[in-house]
Amino acid sequence: MAGRSEIATRLRGMPPKRRAMIALARVREAGIEPERILAIALGTAALIEEDPGSHRSREFRIVQTAKAVHRLASGYHRTWDFPLRDGTTAPYTIHAYPRSTGRVLRHIGEAIEKDSAAVIDAHLPAIVALKVETHGRIMPHM
């Protein structure tokens, strides 16, 4: 589903759906286990469900999930030895991060939610109940 990965410096000008699939490919290539992505989706849904001051919209939930997953494997990092005049070398490093725009995050979140919706629906009440039992309720926002 995720397709082929591209480095962050080559994403400019691509449509959001393609950028989202490339981001998911980077997550796959980074060796991130599907269970971790599912845990992020469950945790995000549980936090939003329990927090009385949180936005309850589906869009908010999928974007928050996508932000967390996108951070797992974003960026292009390379280091080269740059020759100096005295014959030695100095490291030259580039760090480029893809911008996590709203439409890209929505596509990432929708893909994750599509694959995790059944698990979230089945287990969310138990997760929230266990969290409240163990740590108490979230304090209301002031």
Q: What secondary structure letter does DSSP report for 10?
A: G
In a domain, 142, yes or no: no
In a domain, 82, yes or no: yes
Q: Which backbone phi and psi does 6 adopt, to 5 degrees? A: -135, 155
In a domain, 36, yes or no: yes
**pLDDT at residue number 51:** 85
In a domain, 141, yes or no: no
What is the radius of gyration, based on Cα positions, of the chain?
Answer: 19
- Which residues form the domain of 42? 8-135
In a domain, 1, yes or no: no
Work out the pLDDT band at 142, boundaries 50, 70, 90.
Answer: low
> For the chain, how many structural domains are there in total?
1
Q: Which backbone phi and psi does 108 adopt, to 5 degrees? A: -60, -50
Work out the pLDDT band at 105, boundaries 50, 70, 90.
Answer: very high
Q: What percent of the chain has pLDDT over 70?
A: 89
Model confidence pLDDT, tens digit, residues 14-25: 888 988 888 898
**pLDDT at residue number 29:** 87
In a domain, 71, yes or no: yes
**pLDDT at residue number 57:** 87
Instruction: Please state, rounded to an integer, the average pLDDT across all residues of the chain.
Output: 87
In a domain, 3, yes or no: no
In a domain, 59, yes or no: yes
d(CA 115, CA 65): 13
pLDDT at 9 over 60: no
> Model-level pTM?
0.77
